[in-house]
Amino acid sequence: MDEPLVRWDWIARNWDNGGPTSVKVLLENHIVMAFVPVVVGLLIAIPLGLACARYRWLYQPTVGIMNVVYSLPSLALFSILLSVTGLTQTTVIIPLTLFSLAVLIPAVVDGMQSVPDHVRQSAVAMGFQPMRRLTRVELPIAVPVVLAGLRVAAVSSISLVSVGALIGQGGLGYLFIDGWQRQFYTPIVVGIVLVVALALIADLVIIVAQRLLTPWARRRA
Partner 1 sequence: MNWLIEFFGSAEYWSGDDAIPIRLLQHLEYSFLAFAIAALIAIPLGLLIGHTGRGAVIVVVSANAARALPTLGLLVLVVLLIGVGTLWPVLIPLIALAIPPILVNTYEGIRGADPDLRDAAYGMGLRGSQVLFRALLPVALPLILLGLRLSAITVVATATVAAYVGLGGLGRYIIDGLATKNYAEVFGGAVLVVLLALAVQTGFTLLNRVIVSPGVRQVR
Q: How far apart are CA 166 and CA 187, in angstroms?
A: 16
Closest residue by Cα to residue 105 from 72, 160, 153: 153
Determine which residue in the list 53, 123, 195, 206 makes contact with partner 1, applying CB under 8 A.
195
Are 209 and 140 in contact, with CB atoms under 8 Å apart? no
Residue number with CB closer to partner 1 (36 or 194): 194
Name which of 112 and 163 has its Cβ closer to partner 1: 163
Task: Read off the amino acid at residue 159.
Answer: S
Nearest residue (CB) to partner 1, 14 versus 162: 162
* By CB under 8 A, residue 79 contacts partner 1: yes
CB crowding 135-161: b at 16 or more within 10 Å, else e: eebbbebbbebbbbbbbbbbbbbbbbb
Compute the distance between CA of residue 174 and CA of residue 201 in angstroms, rounded to an integer: 21
CB 117, min distance to partner 1, A: 20
| Interatomic CA distance for residues 220 and 142, integer angstroms | 17
Which one, 49 or 170, has the nearer CB to partner 1? 170
CA 93/CA 166 separation, integer angstroms: 14
C-alpha span between 40 and 140 (Å, rounded) = 20
Considering only residues 31, 58, 94, 152, which one is a binding residue for partner 1 as defined by CB under 8 A? 152
Distance CA 167, CA 87 (A): 7
- Among 43, 196, 207, 209, indicate the residue that binds partner 1 (CB under 8 A): 196
Among the candidate windows 38-46, 73-81, 142-150, 213-221, which touches partner 1 by CB under 8 A? 73-81
Cα 143 to Cα 71: distance, rounded to the nearest angstrom: 26
The reply to whether 105 sits near partner 1 by the rule CB under 8 A is: no
Stretch touching partner 1 by CB under 8 A, among 35-43, 77-85, 117-125, 141-149: 77-85
* DSSP one-letter code for 110: H
Told to check if 70 binds partner 1 by CB under 8 A, we report: yes
Within positions 168 to 187, which residues make up the interface with partner 1, using CB under 8 A?
A: 170, 172-173, 175-177, 179-180, 183, 185
> Shortest gap between Cβ of 70 and partner 1 (angstroms)?
8
Closest CA to 97 of 60, 42, 145: 42
Choice from 77, 101, 145, 206 touching partner 1 (CB under 8 A): 77
Residues that bind partner 1 (CB under 8 A): 1, 67-68, 70-77, 79-80, 82-83, 152, 155-156, 158-160, 162-163, 165-167, 170, 172-173, 175-177, 179-180, 183, 185, 188-189, 191-192, 195-196, 199-200, 203
